[in-house]
Structure 1
Amino acid sequence: MATQRQDVHLFKQGIPSGQLAPPDGVPAPVLLVDDNPAKLAALATVIDDMGLDVATATSGCEALRLLLQRDFAVILLDVKMPEMDGFETAALIHGRPKSAHTPIIFVTAEASTDSESIRGYTSGAVDYIFSPIVPEVLRAKIRVFVDLFYLQRTLTLQAEELQKSKRLLRELASYQEQIKEEERKRIAREIHDQLGQSLLALRIDISMLYESTSTVPPELNKKMGDVLNHIDTAIRSVRGIINDLRPPVLDLGLQAAIEWQLEEFRQRTGIVCSIRAKEEDFHCDLDDKRATTLFRILQESLSNITRHAQATRVDIELYRVGRQLRLQIKDNGVGMKDVKKTSSFGLVGMKERVSTLGGEFNIDSVPGRGTILTIAIPLD
């Protein structure tokens, strides 16, 4: 171990470097490890003007304890220490996953052999400095790793901001979808209560008039029959619009809505449908927003199958995996050539609906072998 007199001459004179600017105002932490207090003080003096958060340790064990409490931008580690030398300390530091990539610069006041230098680099050191140490060179080496530390912190902060922005966008999209769903519900109710009831009352009145006018000319009687047919067509159209906006059966729960939708799909297309789900999966902490999202995705999927799949069978499965509810829609149609390049408006809309709930959307398709659509919605 070098004497205190030797430590005074450990450094050549140099020009102090400028200070580094941390991205969040928090100085980069640097750890100095040496069993000689005078050498620690000399090292700390050299980097005192760099605006760093300097911690010191007088042994390898103390350095390891400090590493359990915080991360460091760079560690300056003495080679010659009693009990646990620098090589052993470096091996233990890099053997710990959290500090496996922490830069270590070996610092020694004594000349070493080539084998020691090789041992230093193989133990994970990024540099090996011998005395006499030039202060500006040491600061320049430290500055490289501090800059990397600041860059990593900047990227971390940016990633956090990006995640925050994505979360806010999901919340905004979810709120917009909720508003749209509420507006659909309101319009459907207005159409049902106003237009639907008015058409029904009109049909009743004309039917009564039609039944009581058997003595009128046949032409007028036929005309009234045509009017009734037109009213029936209008009533069916109104009911279709209401179901597209907000199927009343959805208010009875997801199970009733899915069963109704599949029955309507079977009657309209002739495609065989099956559904497999446990009773408890329909009632597993599923709020109206999630139930509506799953129902809308099912609607859009069946519509896509009708238009593009040329399928003869559709199998629906609803099941839980942990705190996720998964909906799988499988058809035996023609499949897709390239799922990644598929950007239809319907699929984009489904992805957006799932994204607003923080869910997962996956398409598995092979040409000629059908398509499997899997949606996972978190229940939390």
Structure 2
Amino acid sequence: MTTGSGVYAVVHLSLLAALLQASHRQAARLAEHQERARITQDLHNLFGSSLVSIAVQSENALRHTPASTPAYRALSDISALARRAHDDVRDIVEGRASTQLHAELVHVQSLLTGADVVTRTTLPRRVNLPAPVSSCLIAVLRESVGNVLQHSQASRCDIEVRTDADRVRLSIDNDGVRAAPARSVSGSGLASLRYRVLALGGTLETERANGRFTLVVGLPRETLDPPLPLGDAERIHQGACP
């Protein structure tokens, strides 16, 4: 009886400990979910209305601006960017799928071309990516192109997407590295991207040499269309992408 009671007590304590651990994990997941919900709602409340306001004010100014002037094009771009950013914020809040990679390439290439940066893209005709991989590559593309526009003096930017049997590779190269920068530009953008890439089992590498800056991301792919022959699978576009 003594031995049986001891075994029962040990088993009972083990079960209680397991239940307690499960309860802690559930509480942690619930807290994480609530925090994410709060962040997304704050994102919508803080930035959503501001972006709509920017778009509306730009569109109002367009009505009084001659269409032949540079100001008209600038205001049109500002309005379109604000509307697009508001849609992105709403998609995040509502948990909808992000923009497709090809559509994002069209957008960033338009931004670069508008800033007088000659842009060339090399990419497969069709790339079907799982949502996490596509979202990660889009985040890398946005951050990288944003850095090109804000922190470089680039006149040319090459963007390349390549795939093989089990990986997808995105490289972004520009010639805008300042020869002698007055101060180094630092931030959390690349660090956040690196964490996001590593979380998917990928790699992120950067290189600064000969006045050029290159960022290369490699990610495992799950489902992509079978590769086409080289002449059909890849197209290089100058100043426009498919």
Secondary structure of the residue aligned to 1:373 is: strand
Secondary structure of the residue aligned to 1:275 is: strand
- Structure 1 pair 238–361 and aligned structure 2 pair: CA distance change class (3 A): closer
Q: Compute the displacement of 1:251 (Å).
A: 4.6
Q: Compute the displacement of 1:358 (Å).
A: 1.3
Q: 8 Å contact 1:309–1:370 — kept in the other structure?
A: no
- Structure 1 pair 196–301 and aligned structure 2 pair: CA distance change class (3 A): closer
1:254 equivalent in alignment to 2:98: no
1:350 equivalent in alignment to 2:180: no
Task: Provide the C-alpha distance between the structure 1 equivalents of 2:151 and 2:82, rounded to a whole number of angstroms.
Answer: 27
Q: 8 Å contact 2:207–2:214 — kept in the other structure?
A: yes
Structural RMSD (CA): 4.5
Larger Rg: 1
Gaps of 5+ in 2: 1-28, 61-75, 223-242
TM norm structure 1:
0.35
1:273 equivalent in alignment to 2:119: yes
Task: Provide the C-alpha distance between the structure 2 equivalents of 1:370 and 1:348, rounded to a whole number of angstroms.
Answer: 20
1:242 equivalent in alignment to 2:99: no
Mapping 1:1-380, distance limit 5 Å: 183=40, 187=44, 191=48, 238-239=82-83, 241-242=85-86, 245=89, 251=98, 253-267=100-114, 269-280=115-126, 282-283=127-128, 286-334=129-177, 344-366=187-209, 368-380=210-222
Q: Compute the displacement of 1:298 (Å).
A: 0.7
Secondary structure of the residue aligned to 1:293 is: helix
Q: Compute the displacement of 1:308 (Å).
A: 2.3
- Structure 1 pair 241–257 and aligned structure 2 pair: CA distance change class (3 A): closer
- Structure 1 pair 358–240 and aligned structure 2 pair: CA distance change class (3 A): same
Letter in 2 for 1:256: A
Task: Provide the C-alpha distance between the structure 1 equivalents of 2:153 and 2:201, rounded to a whole number of angstroms.
Answer: 32
Task: Provide the C-alpha distance between the structure 2 equivalents of 1:271 and 1:316, rounded to a whole number of angstroms.
Answer: 12
Q: 8 Å contact 2:108–2:145 — kept in the other structure?
A: no
Q: How many residues align?
A: 165
Letter in 1 for 2:44: I
Task: Provide the C-alpha distance between the structure 1 equivalents of 2:142 and 2:125, rounded to a whole number of angstroms.
Answer: 21
Any idea what the Cα deviations from partners look like across 1:66-118, whole Å, max 9, x if unmatched? xxxxxxxxxxxxxxxxxxxxxxxxxxxxxxxxxxxxxxxxxxxxxxxxxxxxx
* Percentage identity across paired residues of the two chains: 22
Letter in 2 for 1:379: R
- Structure 1 pair 331–187 and aligned structure 2 pair: CA distance change class (3 A): same
Q: 8 Å contact 1:335–1:365 — kept in the other structure?
A: no
Secondary structure of the residue aligned to 2:194 is: helix
- Structure 1 pair 288–309 and aligned structure 2 pair: CA distance change class (3 A): same
Any idea what the Cα deviations from partners look like across 1:302-351, whole Å, max 9, x if unmatched? 111122221100000001133111100011122699xxx99632211211
1:46 is matched with none
Secondary structure of the residue aligned to 1:322 is: coil
Task: Provide the C-alpha distance between the structure 1 equivalents of 2:78 and 2:149, rounded to a whole number of angstroms.
Answer: 25
Higher relative contact order (CA 8 A, sep 6+): 2
Secondary structure of the residue aligned to 2:205 is: strand
- Structure 1 pair 243–273 and aligned structure 2 pair: CA distance change class (3 A): farther
